[in-house]
Structure 1
Amino acid sequence: MAHEELHFVHVRHAGLYFVATATPGISPFTAVEFLNRLVTLLRDYCGPLSEKTIGLNFALIYELLDEMLDYGYIQTTAPDMLKNFIQMEPVLSQPFSLLDLSTVGLVSIPPPSGER
């Protein structure tokens, strides 16, 4: 899709849309390839992608984009190069909760006989 001097491109993955813009001097196919590589990198770093995963890992994704792009120009999408620069660790999509101890393996203690 084009609007005035911009091309809008998108890639859909797991119900999520990844969108980029490209000026007339840049091939829209380059932007599509960048988005495909971005999705691959995000899956490598964060696991299966979902809206929740994106939200939990916003700072990591921002850091990845900051290293991948410089003033809107693609610098690198090589995972080996990026791992040297990325400092953040991904946030698990289901963090451990103290409120849900069902998976910890605690011994079940029956209630006192008068409270049944």
Structure 2
Amino acid sequence: MAIDGIIILDNTGRPIIQSGFRSKSPAYSLLHIDALNNELQKHSNPSRIDPVLYVPPFQSTDTASACCHVSHSDVYILCPVSGDVDPLVAFAFIQTFIDILREYFGSVSAEVIKENFDVVYQLFEETLDAGGHPLTTYSNALRDIVTPPSLLNKLLASVAGPNIHSTLNAAPGTGPFSSPIPWRKTGVRHVNNEIYFDMVEELRGIVNKCEPLCPSFCAWGVLEA
């Protein structure tokens, strides 16, 4: 089993957009939305809510599931999972999807998602396959499939269809997935064979929400080009 889908809510708990839960009943996504909204009503401080919520089955023939959720800016991002799935997989996917949205739109908010509803839904379809496994998460590969929003692209799409941009720029060997390296575009050439890295050290800890002290720490470096 893997990730069942992804749901984005505004800060009032109302759904903005969700992926297609093809293998689940229509009530499946509503159960997870209600589970989070019920917890939001119980707690005055949303940070006190457990990041993984138990969601009971809708029918006796269904199985129980879990709702992994993250609050970012003024939206809540939910990843329903069922079966034997590590919740860290869902949280890693949520963080990756947030990074993708930030690269596409510059910021992540309810207003931005509503204004770019069609692009966000296309990103749903490309980043998560039908089996619930993360598919294409590299921005270079995604930009060849889902064109970043711009005024010109919106005008072209409204006149000639959503694929007009890729059709005009199509060239032999430059289509989606044409690069053998997923994070690198095809045809990239540099005059100097040099590369520079900035090493950034971060210190992160695992903290119990009820304890002021951190029982364990881990530190690692982050490479920023």
In the superposition, the TM-score normalised over structure 1's length comes to 0.71
Aligned residues: 91
Separation in 1, partners of 2:81, 2:87: 6
Separation in 1, partners of 2:109, 2:79: 19
Residue 116 of structure 2 aligns with an amino acid whose one-letter code is N
Unaligned ranges ≥5, structure 2: 1-52, 57-63, 152-225
The 1:13–1:90 alpha-carbon spacing in structure 2 relative to 1, beyond 3 Å, is farther
Question: Structure 1, residues 59-84: CA drift from partner, whole Å, max 9, x if none?
Answer: 00001111111112221211122112
The 1:90–1:20 alpha-carbon spacing in structure 2 relative to 1, beyond 3 Å, is farther
Q: Which one of the candidate residues 56, 66, 70 is aligned to 2:115? A: 56
In the superposition, the TM-score normalised over structure 2's length comes to 0.38
Residue 77 of structure 1 aligns with an amino acid whose one-letter code is T
Question: Could you tell me the percent identity over the aligned residues?
Answer: 26
Q: How much has 1:15 moved relative to structure 2?
A: 2.2
Q: Does residue 46 of structure 1 match 2:98?
A: no
Instruction: Indicate the structure with greater helix content.
Output: 1
Q: Give the root-mean-square deviation of aligned CA atoms.
A: 1.6
Aligned twin of 1:17: 76
Question: Structure 1, residues 19-57: CA drift from partner, whole Å, max 9, x if none?
Answer: 111112221110111011111110110112221101001
The answer to which structure, 1 or 2, has the higher relative contact order (CA under 8 A, 6+ apart) is 1
Separation in 2, partners of 1:24, 1:40: 27
